[in-house]
Structure 1
Amino acid sequence: MAKKESFFVNRIKSVGFAFKGAFLLLKTESSIKIQFVIAILVTAAGFYFDISSTEWCLQILAIAFVMGIEGVNTAIEDMANFIHPEFHTKIGIIKDIAAGAVFIASVFAIIIGLIIYIPKIF
């Protein structure tokens, strides 16, 4: 019988799997690459405009939310393609809904960005 690994070892492995997943997402998905570049640009803008701690928190949350939802969307699309590789109306609806979640998160992230930066630019 194999020795059961400790809670700590399992957590370290879980973090490793999560890091691998995040790296795969950044390496393979063009949409997340665009979002990553935008995240770098707004981070640079945050330093340039010296945004407040609250604004940093909102900006970081918006970035994390959009990129996290994009990861979930990618996982849903990949799973749907694996389960049903040929076109299927129901799979198409599922993929559209997942993409819609990314769209909603992105729109609200843009609104947050506008609220933060419009007063600083004008």
Structure 2
Amino acid sequence: MKDNRFVKGRIKSVTYSVIGAWKLVSSEHSIMVQFSLGVAVTIAGFYFNITATEWMLQTMCIGLVMAIEGANTAIEKICDFIHPDFNRKIGFIKDIASGAVFFAALAAIVVGTIIYYPRIAAFF
């Protein structure tokens, strides 16, 4: 008899991940903004017929920003749970997590500019 615990465990894990992603997209405003921007640049990618390499870079940037934003949200929730009142050290931790999102978003903006600026400039 085959042991299916591994497969069942992986299915359960993916289910929790999908539920977590849905919670992020449906309840956190920062994720909603990032998700909307991801959809917008995906539509732009089809409109401007970007190359396979550009699709890979764009997809990686969207995933990176969303993942870091999700981690930032989790860090903020943990901090608020541990210490709901204002605390300088908690504020410092939250600022660092937010800074990580800033770096990811900045990189995504640079990649997006490299991909789309020449195409948009060609219209003018």
**TM-score of the aligned structures, taking structure 1 as reference length:** 0.94
Q: Which residue does the alignment assign to 1:53?
A: 52
2:33 is the counterpart of 1:29: no
Q: Which residue does the alignment assign to 2:81?
A: 82
Unmatched 5+ stretches in structure 2? none
Kindly state the Cα deviation for residue 121 of structure 1 after the two structures are TM-superposed. 1.4
Q: Which residue does the alignment assign to 2:63?
A: 64
SS in 2 for 1:85: coil
Unmatched 5+ stretches in structure 1? none
Letter in 2 for 1:114: T
Distance 1:5 1:55 in 2: 40
Kindly state the Cα deviation for residue 120 of structure 1 after the two structures are TM-superposed. 1.2
Count residues with an aligned counterpart.
119
Distance 1:28 1:5 in 2: 34
Letter in 2 for 1:6: R
Letter in 2 for 1:55: E
Distance 1:23 1:62 in 2: 20
2:41 is the counterpart of 1:39: no
Kindly state the Cα deviation for residue 5 of structure 1 after the two structures are TM-superposed. 7.0
Distance 1:118 1:27 in 2: 31
Distance 1:17 1:93 in 2: 30
Distance 1:111 1:120 in 2: 15
Distance 1:5 1:43 in 2: 38
Kindly state the Cα deviation for residue 62 of structure 1 after the two structures are TM-superposed. 0.2
Q: Which residue does the alignment assign to 2:112?
A: 113
Question: Structure 1 residues 10 and 49, CA, compared in 2 at 3 Å: closer, same or farther?
Answer: same
